[in-house]
Structure 1
């Protein structure tokens, strides 16, 4: 489902911690009078001195911004301290056959393993998590507008709003609580020496891997490279039919083929949880970096 951290960030935190916002300092007449003034006879060029600009004090908001970043960092750190490593991540890393490559500061995560003479690479990106959260917030805003319009159509009465709220609650109970499970895009590459590669696009969601497309490239580099030439060559290659349009038995066999190579429900559970954990780590690092820059 949608990341609880994202909900916590979006929600007001007045009760969680005091706001660090302070109004800008009002400059009084006395303070203005105490400020040194330039002599009329002072050279005009002095006003444009680059050395004076270099010695200029930091902006008035710098200290306030740094304090706000520190407050946000403290809040996020306290949230992280109360968490434990999800079982899906722990089990997959301890018992899985994939090697994890996660470079701090980068959005993409890679899982690699060998299977016979094949090299298998599975990649996913935390950029998908941000896109999913933005879409959910947009959908929630749209739902609120529709709720208000329906309420207005019923005469703006309290009973109408109560009826709508009750109906929505009943629908949630009937539909279940996990209707907003996050879909995570997987890029799966299976390559053999001198034989090219299969490139599989899939979705990991609710502990299931759903295959969307299966491409074949004679040159395995086309499945990995992001250079303009490689992207253009990959686009020119015949993409094959949509996976859902294939014979049902063929779909089942291709899914079993991938499962033998480690594309399993365990991986489908691991990816969303790891994306959420990595996004939190990158956000903390971002807060640290921005605060350090502002304070420098």
Structure 2
């Protein structure tokens, strides 16, 4: 029998021999030849640049939609019309504005693009400020539509039939021609005007009025110990003002007291002349802002 020592000596030799034989056989085993065309195609495939599955060049080259050109053309046409005849139709209003501002001490603040306009002046130790807005003219258009709808509903109702043999008389038949002309005259639109009168260390009055047909119609008179509440230029101040007692409706006051308050405003230049000018100013400013709006929209679409 083979001794244990002989076995341990022969095992490494046997393993090393088998490893050497297997390595030699692998080294000298013939390698299959690769076709030359296959190598070239593989290289071309590896060197071929990769592209995205979609193209973004179309988005950059795409021209404006056809409707854009038509919209710009319409805006330009509207601009030409408004610039040619817009203010000409309001020539009398422009002249009235110039006359009032030149012959009074009011200073006007009108920021292009903003709706609110303010007039300020000093009267003794008082600071007087009037504010009004172009939005009143837009609100008027909505009210006119409601009034027109109401007229249509009234027209659809059947007229009352008189007795047999009698001739029905329309309400307008009982109005004299002179009075009828006054009724047919188109009234000016109502413009809301807030009047604040402030005294140093004495708070301020807020008088809410409506200027129409050459008159300031007072709606409410309020007193605030803090002048900033009368102006209420922030939502917080407006909220604080609403929580305070604002005074009774003007029409509920004693008639003599109403007369004295109206005189109080008139002595400070808040009179019929100004009540006529403010609606004119709103119309002229609205026309200018409309032209500005047309230009802004046209420039944006055509950019």
Name the TM tier (shorter chain): 0.7 to 0.9
Consecutive unaligned residues in structure 1, runs of 5 or more: 1-40, 155-162
Q: Give the aligned partner of residue 121 of structure 1.
A: 129
Check 1:138–1:72 CA distance in 2 against 1; reply closer, same or farther (3 A cut).
farther
Q: How far apart, CA to CA, are the structure 2 residues paired with 1:253 and 1:138?
A: 36
Query: Bigger radius of gyration, 1 or 2?
Result: 2
Instruction: Give yes or no for contact 2:187–2:213 (8 Å, CA) kept in 1.
Output: no
Q: How far apart, CA to CA, are the structure 1 residues paired with 2:64 and 2:252?
A: 62
Query: Which deviations, in whole Å up to 9, do the C-alpha atoms of 1:28-48 show, x marking residues without a partner?
Result: xxxxxxxxxxxxx984332xx
Alignment of 1:203-214 (within 5 A): 203-214=210-221
Check 1:169–1:144 CA distance in 2 against 1; reply closer, same or farther (3 A cut).
farther
The answer to whether 1:77 aligns with 2:102 is: no
Check 1:85–1:175 CA distance in 2 against 1; reply closer, same or farther (3 A cut).
closer
SS of residue in 2 equivalent to 1:109: strand
* CA RMSD, 1 decimal: 2.7
Q: Give the aligned partner of residue 134 of structure 1.
A: 142
Check 1:100–1:81 CA distance in 2 against 1; reply closer, same or farther (3 A cut).
closer
User: TM-score, with normalisation over the residues of structure 2?
Assistant: 0.72
Alignment of 1:244-259 (within 5 A): 244-259=251-266
Offset, 1:76: 1.3
Instruction: Give yes or no for contact 1:225–1:231 (8 Å, CA) kept in 2.
Output: yes
User: TM-score, with normalisation over the residues of structure 1?
Assistant: 0.74
Check 1:252–1:81 CA distance in 2 against 1; reply closer, same or farther (3 A cut).
closer
Q: Give the aligned partner of residue 19 of structure 2.
A: none
Q: How far apart, CA to CA, are the structure 2 residues paired with 1:169 and 1:126?
A: 39
Instruction: Give yes or no for contact 1:88–1:266 (8 Å, CA) kept in 2.
Output: no
Offset, 1:175: 5.8
Q: Aligned residue pairs: how many? A: 241
State which of 280, 284, 295 in structure 2 corresponds to 1:277: 284
Q: Give the aligned partner of residue 6 of structure 1.
A: none
Q: Give the aligned partner of residue 192 of structure 2.
A: 185
Check 1:82–1:232 CA distance in 2 against 1; reply closer, same or farther (3 A cut).
closer
